[in-house]
């Protein structure tokens, strides 16, 4: 770390706001396919009764996310380097955690392909003169052009703008529904807090839990955004001094604020999508897939705001999906080189090799996602499959978080009892919901 980058954290609230950002990129990734497809599907499938799944999904994972962010700040190391220090079997130079992350993330190609296809379908509904395939190719090219230079500032600003507009529209839609025949009561909402999980909704519930809120890959991605924002560089190398500990605690608090504001945003949006799906779509029979899916989802807004809102909804749906793909490509272009360094396929610290790999990946992944969608063309199923993969990856994330917390406790940077309580509630909740879902499934 360069000593010139070391600085004390701001003390004023508005001064702290200047250093927020990683959470907004996280929200761009979260406020997308999970809310637009998986959350709505769950509401349509189960009604209000599984509302608790969505709230738990949004709230309980944050403590794990904070532990990852804290570790990235105090260690200054890349996440895959930290994963490679975890105990367990190795294959070559890398251990089970690095290999598992690599394999499971690669399986999510199906999910991102579904999201890209969904974006193309939306644009085709807005401008039908161009077929879905043409829009798919144009979107893939635009993603590659935006990411191939990998500028953090561009990613942060673009993500913030994409999330802001659609968040406002989603909340407005939820308010508007009370002026239609689809309005619902407080009692119906409370019925969704009984921790019931109907047998017929298990698959969608597990997928929704894995993909909504801070999903496993978003927790991993958060570490890269925290470091690129500069938190680790501001703290500096650990010299064991009280000055370093004070500086570290200050920047960790700013990271906490960043994560908290992001949680408020994505919890509101996720809850709104679920309630809209439960109120309007529950009990209407089979939910369509393929090219009819997004058009059918538009009924949420046309039913609550009228037919004139269809175009606004489609524009918002596009930015929600596109922002998720955009943030995912930005994250994957950081994760994979990190993995390759741990495999020994790349030299860590070689900037020219890193830039070259980023530019290759920025074009390669959109091409792969495009081909995947063209073969399957079922965006709903593709997105839900990614949720199941994310649920498995969450188990690895929890294991790593436990190790990180033990290491951070040795540095005496944890606040104490309440922090411990929230962390273990988070870990146990994730493990319990996953185990319960698997038990019910079989």
- Give CA–CA dist 158/134, Å, rounded: 24
* Domains of the chain from N-terminus onward: 3-441 (1.10.4160)
Residue 38 is classified by DSSP as I
pLDDT score for 282:
79
Rounded to 5 degrees, φ, ψ at 18 are -65, -20
pLDDT score for 210:
62
- Give CA–CA dist 61/263, Å, rounded: 10
Q: What is the mean pLDDT of each run of 10 residues along the chain (442 residues)?
A: 74 88 84 66 79 84 90 92 93 94 93 89 89 94 87 82 76 78 85 80 69 79 92 88 89 92 87 82 64 66 67 76 88 94 90 88 95 86 75 86 85 73 84 62 50
Secondary structure class of 90 (helix, strand, coil): strand
Degrees, nearest 5: CA angle 396-400-404? 165
Rounded to 5 degrees, φ, ψ at 94 are -115, 150
- Give CA–CA dist 317/192, Å, rounded: 26
Long-range CB pairs of 348-355 (<8 Å, 24+ gap) are: 348/78, 348/81, 355/150
Taking the CA atoms of 267, 399, 210 and 28 in sequence, report the sign of the dihedral they define. positive
- Give CA–CA dist 155/209, Å, rounded: 26
Contact call for residues 209 and 433 (beta carbons, < 8 A) = yes
Region of 150 (left: φ > 0; alpha: ψ -120 to 50; beta: rest) is: left
To 10 degrees, the CA torsion angle through 230, 26, 214, 103?
-80
pLDDT score for 66:
92
pLDDT score for 106:
94
pLDDT score for 34:
55
Neighbour tally for 56: CB within 10 Å:
19
pTM listed for this prediction: 0.87
Rounded to 5 degrees, φ, ψ at 349 are 95, -5
């Amino acid at each position: 770390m360069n000593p010139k980058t070391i600085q004390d954290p701001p003390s004023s609230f508005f001064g702290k706001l200047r250093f927020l950002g990683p959470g907004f990129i996280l929200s761009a990734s979260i406020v997308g396919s999970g809310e637009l497809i998986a959350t709505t599907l769950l509401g349509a499938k189960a009604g209000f009764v599984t509302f608790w799944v969505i709230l738990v999904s949004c709230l309980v994972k944050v403590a794990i996310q904070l532990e990852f962010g804290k570790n990235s700040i105090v260690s200054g190391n890349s996440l895959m380097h930290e994963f490679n220090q975890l105990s367990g079997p190795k294959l070559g130079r890398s251990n089970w955690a690095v290999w598992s992350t690599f394999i499971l993330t690669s399986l999510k190609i199906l999910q991102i392909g579904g999201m890209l296809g969904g974006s193309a379908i939306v644009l085709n509904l807005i401008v039908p003169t161009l077929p879905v395939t043409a829009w798919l190719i144009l979107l893939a090219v635009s993603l590659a052009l935006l990411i191939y230079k990998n500028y953090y500032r561009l990613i942060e600003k673009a993500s913030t703008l994409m999330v802001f507009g659609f968040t406002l529209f989603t909340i407005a839609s939820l308010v508007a529904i009370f002026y239609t025949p689809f309005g619902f009561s407080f009692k119906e909402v409370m019925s969704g807090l009984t921790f019931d999980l109907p047998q017929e909704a298990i698959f969608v519930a597990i997928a929704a839990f894995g993909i909504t809120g801070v999903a496993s890959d978003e927790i991993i991605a958060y570490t890269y955004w925290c470091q690129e924002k500069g938190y680790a560089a501001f703290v500096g190398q650990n010299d064991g001094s009280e000055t370093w500990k004070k500086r570290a605690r200050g920047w960790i608090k700013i990271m906490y604020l960043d994560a908290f504001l992001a949680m408020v945003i994505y919890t509101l949006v996720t809850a709104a999508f679920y309630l809209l799906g439960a109120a309007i779509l529950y009990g209407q029979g089979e939910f369509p897939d393929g090219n009819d899916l997004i058009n059918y989802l538009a009924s949420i807004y046309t039913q609550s705001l009228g037919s004139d809102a269809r175009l606004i909804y489609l524009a918002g749906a596009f930015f929600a999906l596109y922002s998720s793909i955009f943030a995912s490509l930005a994250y994957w272009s950081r994760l994979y080189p990190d993995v390759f360094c741990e495999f020994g396929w790349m030299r860590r610290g070689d900037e020219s090799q890193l830039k070259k790999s980023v530019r290759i990946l920025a074009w390669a992944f959109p091409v792969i996602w495009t081909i995947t969608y063209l073969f399957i063309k079922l965006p709903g199923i593709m997105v839900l499959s990614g949720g199941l993969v994310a649920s498995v990856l969450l188990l690895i994330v929890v294991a790593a978080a436990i190790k990180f917390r033990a290491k951070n406790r040795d540095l005496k940077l944890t606040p104490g009892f309440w922090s411990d309580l929230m962390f273990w509630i988070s870990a146990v909740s994730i493990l319990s919901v996953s185990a319960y879902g698997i038990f019910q499934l079989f």
